[in-house]
Amino acid sequence: MAERSSQERPDAPRGAAIAFEDLMPGRTFALGEVEVDREDMLAFARRFDPQPYHLEEEAGRASILGGLAASGWYTVSLWMRAYADGVLADSTSQASPGGTVSWMAPVFPGDVLRFRIEVTGARRSKSKPNLGVVEITGTAARGEDVVMRYDFVGFFGTRATDGA
């Protein structure tokens, strides 16, 4: 993650590589791959989602998931880390009000997940002209299959603000 003085946020994003103006609809960012680590996956489940199919092989096999599978929140969190490192770290990001997460297929230890985002919409805030409202689809894919999708809104500072 790039170092950045907090004084640059939110009104002086001049040094950031990615500002609102860079997030045009259709632009995609490849965010790398991660192999799902069994112990890390289990540690997350023990702490935040201790359901049997996230903790035990046998319970996973007997469940609708078909095997010991990651908590959906773990998969989102892995995607979030890739998004934070690959986009937000050097951006004018001003947080997010939320979005819709879809888990299409279970994720298993050893799976290699490929993360990306695509910008699907962008507009300037009416109430805050130095803020942009960006619609983004984030995905985690295993091979050709998208296993998780997150459609969300992100707020990003503009480069050219009123009075700049």
* 67 counts as binding a second copy under rule CB under 8 A: no
Nearest distance, CB of residue 108 and a second copy, angstroms: 14
Task: Name residue 91's beta-bridge partners.
Answer: 18
C-alpha separations of 21 from 56, 105, 119, 151 in Å = 47, 34, 12, 20
Q: Tokens 């702490």 label which residue? A: 47
Nearest distance, CB of residue 48 and a second copy, angstroms: 4
Stretch that binds a second copy, among 14-22, 23-31, 48-56, 138-146 (CB under 8 A): 48-56
DSSP category for residue 84? H
* 96 counts as binding a second copy under rule CB under 8 A: yes
Q: Are 137 and 153 in contact (CB under 8 A)?
A: no
Stretch that binds a second copy, among 27-35, 86-94, 109-117, 132-140 (CB under 8 A): 86-94
Q: Looking at 80, 90, 120, 142, which residue binds a second copy (CB under 8 A)?
A: 80
Distance in angstroms (rounded) separating the CA atoms of residues 52 and 68:
9
Nearest distance, CB of residue 150 and a second copy, angstroms: 9
Interior/surface letters 84-106, b for 16+ CB within 10 angstroms, e for the rest: eebbbbbbbbbeeeebebebebb
Interface residue list for a second copy (CB under 8 A): 1, 4, 6-7, 9-10, 47-53, 56, 58-59, 61-65, 71-73, 76-78, 80-81, 84-85, 88-89, 93-104, 155
